[in-house]
A and B are shown apart, each in its own frame.
Chain A
Amino acid sequence: MTTAVDLVRDAPFAVGGRTFQSRLMVGTGKYEGHETMLRAIEASGAEIVTVAVRRVDLDRSKDSGLLHHLDPKRFFLLANTAGCYTATDAMRYARLAREAGFNDFVKLEVIGDEETLLPDVRGLLEAATVLVKEGFKVLAYTNEDLVTALRLEDAGCAAVMPLASPIGSGLGLLNPLSVRTIKRRLRVPVIVDAGVGTASDACLTMEQGVDGILMNTAIAAAQDPVAMAQAMRLATIAGRAAFLAGRMPRREVAMPSSPTRGMLD
């Protein structure tokens, strides 16, 4: 069946030498069960799926590992360094993920503040610089600061990931201008990561022209995660399509859509 969605003319989403059809990336955290998670990921249409690296619980049940449920041949697993507060820790987690995983991509997070989970940009730049030299494709989670984004690009990051709003906050895109500026100034892909709450947030974010969007809580914590995943898929496509279409100019006064001539006397 041909739908309007199929008619959107767009190049594939390319990052770190790989190409993907979906510009929506999703996380795997906070789901009540693996079955809901899998159905939500399916409904989102995402190809890139983020995972965290943690110690094996030695008393675990046999099928508790995520890879027991998530086929790494089907999804591109992007390991994160979530929970790391120093460059040293983040680099350690990245290296462990590469050894345990399937690719040399890492979603690099170096958190600087427990309450806001905002990034420690100094630690982030330090870890990004080292990991790039070690051959990693670094996707750096950062704030919406242009200068930091430029430094991350200079450090060789494969993508820069400014936040829409704090992780897990669901507040949506708080600073469209900053995100747009980062997109305008960087050559590497810009993926907005964190803070999306509902579909309109995803749409508005994609309308800024960014290359992609990554979310977890907005889907996992929805009352119906599978339905929200589908909404996010459509919103991401709609936002991208609207960006490519080019919006009309904003006007401060009204302009009639219907002819003003030919009115009855």
Chain B
Amino acid sequence: MKDTIDIVINGQARTVSQGVTLLELLAGLALDPRTGDAIELVHFVGGG
């Protein structure tokens, strides 16, 4: 099994380690969650 996964963050391809936590991911992007950033998970739902 690969020890990395390819993910897309804000439209950009990134390779991160399999066991990365969200906090580590944010730190790697120089985003400090301690400043109170909010994370929104969105998806598509039915709409007109």
Interface positions of A (Cβ within 8 A of B): 27-31, 37, 50-56, 58, 65-67, 77, 79-80, 82, 96-101, 167-168, 194, 214-217
Pair B46/A37 contact, Cβ less than 8 Å: yes
Residues of B within 8 A of A55 (CB): 40-42
Grouping DSSP codes into helix (H, G, I), strand (E, B) and loop, the B interface class, with mixed when no group exceeds half, is loop
Interface positions of B (Cβ within 8 A of A): 10-11, 40-48
Output the nearest chain A residue to B47 by Cβ-Cβ distance. Answer: A52
Pair A29/B44 contact, Cβ less than 8 Å: no
Output the nearest chain B residue to A214 by Cβ-Cβ distance. Answer: B48
| Closest beta carbon of chain B to A114's beta carbon, Å | 16
Grouping DSSP codes into helix (H, G, I), strand (E, B) and loop, the A interface class, with mixed when no group exceeds half, is mixed
Bound-state CA distance A54–B46 (Å) is 10
Q: Select B47's contact among A29, A58, A101, beta carbons within 8 Å.
A: A29
The winner among A52, A65, A168 for most chain B CB atoms within 10 A is A52
Bound-state CA distance A82–B44 (Å) is 12
Q: A98-B11, A99-B11 are contacts. A80–B48 as well, Cβ < 8 Å?
A: yes
Output the nearest chain B residue to A25 by Cβ-Cβ distance. Answer: B48
Pair A54/B48 contact, Cβ less than 8 Å: no
Residues of B within 8 A of A31 (CB): 46
Pair A100/B42 contact, Cβ less than 8 Å: yes
Q: Select B43's contact among A67, A80, A98, A215, beta carbons within 8 Å.
A: A67
Bound-state CA distance A27–B45 (Å) is 10
Bound-state CA distance A55–B38 (Å) is 13
Bound-state CA distance A31–B46 (Å) is 8
Q: A98-B11, A99-B11 are contacts. A50–B47 as well, Cβ < 8 Å?
A: yes
Residues of A within 8 A of B42 (CB): 53-56, 96-97, 100
Bound-state CA distance A80–B47 (Å) is 8
Q: A96-B40, A100-B42 are contacts. A27–B11 as well, Cβ < 8 Å?
A: no
Q: A99-B10, A99-B11 are contacts. A216–B44 as well, Cβ < 8 Å?
A: no
The winner among B43, B45, B48 for most chain A CB atoms within 10 A is B48
